[in-house]
Amino acid sequence: MGKHMAPLALLSVSDKTGLVDLARCLTEEFGFDLLSSGGTAQALKDAGIPVTKVSDYTGSPEILGGRVKTLHPRIHGGILARQDLPQDLADLEAHQIRPMSLVVVNLYPFEQTIARPDVRLPEAIEQIDIGGPAMLRAAAKNFAHLTVLCNPSQYSSYLAELRQQGAASLSFRQACALRAFEHTATYDQAISSYLAAQASEPASEPASEQPFNATPALEVLPSRFQLTGTEVQTLRYGENPHQPAMWYQTGVAPTGWAAAAKLQGKELSYNNLVDLEAARRIVAEFTEAPAAVIIKHTNPCGAALGDSLVEAYTKAFTADSVSAFGGIVALNQPIDPATATELTKTFLECVVAPACNPEAEEILKAKSKVRVLILPDLLSGPQHLVKQVAGGFFGANRR
């Protein structure tokens, strides 16, 4: 192999956001050669971008309906080669393998698939990526010699590295490797959680025909409990102003507070979210009669039922009107004009309800700056309750 061969990039993505623009910059601006497979190769060809199919490069066809295409020594040798080690370079030369400079991979949409209520086990199983995680892990392990990108949001930063210094810095490559391992860990956690949920459900029909149940009634907790999340937003600070904090959501589709619609008010803080969840858990105990709960610093100031929502809120407020000032209110029914009027009579940090009447919304906007959140699944909580302690955590079923 020539010492001055063009840099080689392997592109194999399910999410094709930004793919064509990245590939065009790599080839036209930086002289990369591209390897690709399946739909990614077709997308690049359709855009007029020169690309070599993985099967042509390896000399091995895609088999088993596409299940095996990148699992080949010419692919993984090029990814894993230590390019400063003479023996590795000799192996590349002997087996006609080109070293990779860039690996761009994102995975089959497993979480998006199982989020559908009608998905069946065989369909979910086909969305378990094999070659993708293998390439990501190999490239991340070898970050000393190449860059791995697993999300379209990284493309512009990588191109900026090339433009500024001709190659990605070691610190950038290491940060990308961490991102890749986080990505594969989250992916595997989603698969294991799905299969655990499948195993916990009574088999009323063959397993291959059972739909995925997002909230199975687990009787036995798993021996290994995993929890991963995706950033929702950076919070201004944590419990105290000197503490940094980040808000994460579980799963690929926003649920719970991550799915709440904000009608008005400032961004939520760490303490707002803690109090909102405390209020939600109490008000979720009441599903029939109108109910209202007021929380201050995670402590209930008042909780009441009423014949109407405004009566429930008034009772809860009168239980401790002093502490209710600056509190958090959770209501188990849509906010109506009468309740909205009462809510504007004192300063409140946040109000959450499953819905809000348009007239009530106008009342709140006109007379108050209170944060108002709409959370349709207000009465639905997490499947498991987790409490962190020094050196570990507790897990329990919520039912």
Catalytic residue set: 141, 297
Cα 50 to Cα 41: distance, rounded to the nearest angstrom: 9
Alpha-carbon separation of residue 72 from 36, 57, 90, 91, 278 (angstroms): 13, 10, 18, 15, 52
Sort 339 into a burial class: Cβ within 10 Å, 0-12 / 13-18 / 19+: buried
Cα 63 to Cα 104: distance, rounded to the nearest angstrom: 22
Angle in degrees, CA 173, 161, 19, rounded to 5: 85
Where does the chain show beta strands of DSSP type E?
8-13, 33-36, 52-53, 102-106, 147-149, 230-235, 245-249, 261-264, 291-296, 299-305, 327-331, 348-353, 371-374, 384-389, 392-397
Q: Tell me 292's DSSP state.
A: E
